[in-house]
Amino acid sequence: MRIAQVAPLYESVPPKLYGGTERIVSYLTEELVKQGHDVTLFASGDSLTQARLVPVCSQALRLNRGCIDQLAHHVVMLQEVMAQRERFDLIHFHIDYLHFPLTRLLGWTTLTTLHGRLDIPDLVPLYKAFPEMPVSSISSAQRQPLPWLNWQGTVYHGLPEGHYDFNKQSGRYLVFLGRTSPEKGLDHAIEIAHQTGMPLKVGAKIDNSDRQYFETRLKPLLNSGSIEFLGEIGFPQKNELLGGAAALLFPIAWPEPFGIVMIEAMACGTPVIAYPRGSVPEVVEHGLTGFIVEDVDGAVEAVKQIDLIDRRACRRRFEERFTAKLMSSNYVRMYESLVRGEGETIPASNRVSIG
């Protein structure tokens, strides 16, 4: 099959440091190439791939200090896709809704994976205007705010099986990986570590929008010898950091659409202690791959019981549920259905009226 993958331009594919969507696009693209598909990747020029790369801009936009208008580069990318559309049987978009008007106008065969949160009121009129667009979710929980979209299915994220090393030994520290935004719960992770008396290693990105929150709320909490703030890290540093931890703390305060770091931890054999929001109950199996708890007190008790979790079971469930091979196979089934014109459609009775 001739497939185009259209990635956001904020990070390279795969990202050099932090990056979720672009990392998944990379894993999917490389697995599709391995399976023998003809794949074209639209991405930043510093991306690395075995697919045919169409470099829309010279480098990833977030790390390019000279980039002021990021949207402009995405419009250029849409022009590139439009110019080459006859090369593809299907175009898989990972850039939210930017292409919707072109898709409708030109009749492209597409799938759009929605990678972000959907509980934002501004999205309702937009998706009402484009109810026929075939979309896929990355968790069932992600769909809840907009159940009436033209959902083709849910495909969980997956990682290459050999990408992360299994570590059968439980470490003596806790780990937090993510962003320093309020919804990610680093303040709770620090409190959990303090109450358990265990060291906490923090690998976290500080976005400009989160800078004030970091400086005023989080930075004072880091003044402790037991908290090690490592800043933004990427692969392969994450391999050693996650694999050496006793547990990953994931005390989120928002409807997490998926949470890649949870399956990265499982791939290393490291259990997850998480709050039951968003995708967490779908990803973490309570008592098998970690513990799902309600608050700091529950997390503290979970840390005390973390040795009850079999690290081999964490790795085994990763291999059974969250590999790149499984992810790509599930997407290919959607592609084939859409190309044959058999994709899910919205019954007239379920369509949402516009205006």
C-alpha 32/C-alpha 330 separation (Å) is: 11
Confidence of residue 265 (pLDDT cuts 50, 70, 90): very high
Percent of the chain exceeding pLDDT 70 equals 97
- The H helix count followed by the E strand count for the chain is 13, 13
Q: Of 29-33, 57-61, 279-283, which range is least confident?
A: 57-61
Specify the amino acid at residue 175: V
Specify the amino acid at residue 217: R
SS3 per-residue string spanning 258-315: CCHHHHHHHHCCCCEEECCCCCHHHHCCECCCEEECCCHHHHHHHHHCHHHCCHHHHH
Confidence of residue 352 (pLDDT cuts 50, 70, 90): very low
* Statement: residue 275 has pLDDT above 80: yes
Query: Distance of alpha carbon 291 from its chain centroid, rounded?
Result: 21
pLDDT at 344: 64
Specify the amino acid at residue 57: C
If phi > 0 it is left, if psi is from -120 to 50 it is alpha, else beta; for residue 197 that is: left
pLDDT digits (tens, 9 = 90+) for 158-178: 999 999 999 999 889 999 998
pLDDT digits (tens, 9 = 90+) for 181-215: 999 999 999 999 999 999 999 998 888 888 999 89
pLDDT at 210: 85
Q: Of 139-143, 152-156, 196-200, 201-205, which range is least confident?
A: 201-205
Mean pLDDT over 297-315 rounds to 97
Please list the helix, strand and coil fractions of the chain in percent, rounded to the nearest 5, in that order.
40, 15, 45
**DSSP code of residue 114:** -
Question: How is residue 254 written in tokens?
Answer: 């928002």
Mean pLDDT over 81-89 rounds to 96
* Statement: residue 353 has pLDDT above 60: no
**DSSP code of residue 85:** G
Domains of the chain: 2-158+324-350 (3.40.50.2000), 174-321 (3.40.50.2000)
Query: Distance of alpha carbon 209 from its chain centroid, rounded?
Result: 20
C-alpha 183/C-alpha 189 separation (Å) is: 12
* Statement: residue 313 has pLDDT above 70: yes
pLDDT at 345: 58
Main-chain dihedrals φ then ψ at residue 334, nearest 5 degrees: -65, -45
Mean pLDDT over 25-41 rounds to 98
Strand partners, 159: 323
CB of 87 within 8 A of CB of 37? no
